[in-house]
């Protein structure tokens, strides 16, 4: 265990709020980031953007550069995907969360992202984390799949030390002996990270479980455990998805998902940060 300095919580009232344009993450309102694992086509992205914005969702995820285990798997639309994200975001008034895979891609991805996602595979790429510390945009830092909570918070420390104070932690499951689920979603890590650090903590039960049917229950558990938000994969046609369709919830079921989360949030005296439904046509 190594000591935290900048990432450490100093007292019970010490909680950082991350500003993303006119939105805030880490306040009483929970953030909901929804969207496909990967940007696939203009039609796919627009349909999802339209669907989520109709339900009041303010943040859309979507990978343009995908870190795939197999080099033969779909690697993302890359620059074309970034452009599609930007135009869907403008059309539907959404903030974009997208992954930056490598230092060499920071310059390219930066103008297209409101929040830059650092994937699990990069959570120990220290030179990359140092580079992200030089930026002025929020970083969504996934927990490394083999990182202890201390190592995850130290990864955040690298970014903070570089001068970027806008770090959002994201629990996305870890590798354990149990292969029944894709990863073992570490619910305990959520309140623990919040106890040890002032940074907001969100949960990604899509990567965390790898199974569509487990996304709602684990989202509820994350909210009950004190998460400041959720990031989930949603697809209009999960069976046709080019990545992670098996863990993507149906766009047609997102309304029911939101209702369930709202009910759970209420129990912790929190609300979901949504636009008034149907405000955007």
| Binding to Mn ion in span 177-206, by CB under 5 A | none
Measured distance CA(68)–CA(75) in Å, rounded: 6
Measured distance CA(141)–CA(123) in Å, rounded: 7
Which among 152, 116, 112, 153 has a CA at the least distance from the CA of 134?
116
Q: Which C-beta is closer to ligand PEP: that of 216 or that of 247?
A: 247
Shortest distance, CB of residue 63 to ligand PEP, whole angstroms?
5
Q: Which C-beta is closer to ligand PEP: that of 174 or that of 270?
A: 174
Residues engaged in binding ligand PEP (CB under 6 A): 37, 63, 67, 119-121, 142, 172, 207
Residue 248 binds which entry of ligand PEP, Mn ion, none, CB below 5-8 Å type-dependent? none
| Residue 98-137 contact track with Mn ion, rule CB under 5 A, x = bound | ----------------------------------------
| Binding to Mn ion in span 18-47, by CB under 5 A | 37
Shortest distance, CB of residue 38 to Mn ion, whole angstroms?
7
Helices and strands counted in the chain (H then E): 9, 12
Q: Which C-beta is closer to ligand PEP: that of 142 or that of 198?
A: 142
Proportion of the chain in helix, strand, coil states, percent, rounded to 5: 40, 20, 40
């Amino acid at each position: 265990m190594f000591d935290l300095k900048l990432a450490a919580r100093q007292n019970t009232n010490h909680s950082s709020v991350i500003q993303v344009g006119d939105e805030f993450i880490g306040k009483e309102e929970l953030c909901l980031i929804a969207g496909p694992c990967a940007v696939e086509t203009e039609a796919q992205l627009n349909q999802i953007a339209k669907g989520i914005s109709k339900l009041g969702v303010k943040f859309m995820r979507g990978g343009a550069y995908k870190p795939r285990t197999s080099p033969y798997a779909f690697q993302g639309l890359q620059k074309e995907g970034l452009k599609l994200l930007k135009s869907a975001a403008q059309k539907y008034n959404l903030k974009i969360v997208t992954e930056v895979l490598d230092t060499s891609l920071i310059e390219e991805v930066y103008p297209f992202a409101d929040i830059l996602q650092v994937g699990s595979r990069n959570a120990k790429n220290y030179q990359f984390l140092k580079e992200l510390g030089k930026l002025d945009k929020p970083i969504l830092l996934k927990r490394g799949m083999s990182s202890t909570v201390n190592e995850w918070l130290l990864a955040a420390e690298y970014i903070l030390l570089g001068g970027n104070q806008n770090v959002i932690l994201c629990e996305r499951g870890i590798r354990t002996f149990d292969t029944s689920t894709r990863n073992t979603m570490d619910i305990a890590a959520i309140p623990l990270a919040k106890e040890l650090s002032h940074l907001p903590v969100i949960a990604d039960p899509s990567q965390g479980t790898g199974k569509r049917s487990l996304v709602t229950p684990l989202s509820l558990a994350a909210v009950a455990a004190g998460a400041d938000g959720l990031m989930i994969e949603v697809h209009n046609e999960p069976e046709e998805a080019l990545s992670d369709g098996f863990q993507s919830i149906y766009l047609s079921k997102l309304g029911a998902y939101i209702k369930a989360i709202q009910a759970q949030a209420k129990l912790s005296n929190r609300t979901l940060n949504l636009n008034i439904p149907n405000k955007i046509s």
